[in-house]
Copies of this chain bind each other. A is one copy, B any other.
Amino acid sequence: MQRQERLIRLTQRLVEQPAAPLHVTQLADRWGVAKSTLSEDIALIRETFAGAGTGNVETMVGVQGGVRYRPVVAHDDRAAFLGELAARLSDPDRVLAGQFVYLSDVLGDPDVLDFVGRLVSAHFQHAGVNVVVTVETKGITLAASVARYLHVPIAIVRRDQRVTEGASVTTHYVSGSAKRIQTMSLSKRLVPNDARALIVDDFMRAGATARAVAQLLAEFDAEVVGTAVFMATAMPVAKMVDSYVALLQVNEVSEAGIEVRPFPLTQ
C-alpha cells in the first residue's frame, strides 16, 4: 500500500469513528506494514489537522499503540455558526403560545446536530465522560450527536416507567414552569459503574429538569461532570444547577418578537 493510500484510509478511519481507539499495532499487522511507518503517517495526519485547526490526534495512555481523533471547532467557525443560528432563531414566527420557542426543526437539522456534537464534545473532552444522559424527547438528537463524538453510550431518562426499560429507578420533582409534580425514570442497566455523566438537554429555564436528572443520577452514585444545553433563558440568572454551558441565550420572548444570541460564555 502506498503512502497516499494509507493516509487516506487512516484519515477515513480516524474521522469516521471519533474518540474511538485505533490500535496501530493491529492495523500494521493487518496491512502488512511496519508499525513505525504507520506512526509516521499518523504524525503527518496529526500535524495537518493541527495546522488546519480542525482536529487532534491523541496518543492514548494505557492502550498499547492506540490513537484517537477528536474534532476541534475553530473560534471563528464557532462564532460564525452560532451567530447565524441565533439570527435564524430570532424569528417572531418561532414564538408559540405561552412564550415557548419553536426549536424542533433546528433540533433535527443534520448540520446543527453535527456542529453541537463537535462543539460540546470538544468542551468536555478531558472530563472523563463515560455516559451522556438526556431526558426524552427533544434533547435526544443533540445528546446522540455529543455521545457519538465522545464515543460513549447515551442513556435516556423516561417521563414514565416503561416495561421495555426493565428495572428502573424512579424519582419525582416539581417542574419549574408548570409547578407540577413530574416523574423521571432511568433504566438501571443504562448507567455504568463509576459513571461520569454529561447531561445534555435542549432548553433550560430555571434548571429544574437538569437538577432533577442530577438527583436521579445521584441514586446511581453517578458523578455529574457537566451540563450542556442548546438554549438557556437569560432570566432567571441564577439556575438551580451549579454550573452549565449553553450555546445560545434567549433574552426576550414575547408576542412581539424574540431575541436569541450566542451564549455570553461561548463567545
**Chain A residues near B (Cβ < 8 Å):** 3-5, 7-9, 11-12, 15-17, 20, 44-45, 48-49, 51-52, 54-55, 71, 96-98, 100-105, 108-111, 113-114, 136-138, 140-141, 144-145, 147-148, 151-156, 158, 163-166, 187, 189-190
Q: A4-B44, A110-B147, A137-B158 provided; 17 other pairs, C-beta below 8 A?
A: A7-B7, A7-B8, A8-B8, A11-B11, A20-B111, A102-B164, A104-B166, A105-B187, A108-B153, A108-B155, A108-B190, A110-B148, A110-B151, A110-B154, A113-B148, A137-B140, A144-B145
B104 A165 Cβ-Cβ under 8 A: yes
B105 A48 Cβ-Cβ under 8 A: no
**What chain B residues lie within 8 Å of A153 (beta carbons)?**
105, 108-110
A104 B11 Cβ-Cβ under 8 A: no
- How far does the Cβ of A101 sit from chain B's closest Cβ, in whole Å? 8
**What chain B residues lie within 8 Å of A141 (beta carbons)?**
140, 144, 154, 156
Given A137-B140, A140-B144, are A114 and B8 neighbors across the interface (CB < 8 Å)? Answer: no
- How far does the Cβ of A196 sit from chain B's closest Cβ, in whole Å? 16
Nearest-CB residue, chain B, relative to A141: B144
**What chain B residues lie within 8 Å of A154 (beta carbons)?**
108, 110, 141
In the complex, A91 Cα to B28 Cα: how many Å? 35
Nearest-CB residue, chain B, relative to A45: B8
**What chain B residues lie within 8 Å of A114 (beta carbons)?**
16-17, 148
Can you give 9 contacting A-B residue pairs, CB < 8 Å?
A4-B7, A12-B15, A12-B55, A98-B163, A102-B189, A104-B165, A104-B166, A108-B154, A144-B145
In the complex, A114 Cα to B151 Cα: how many Å? 10
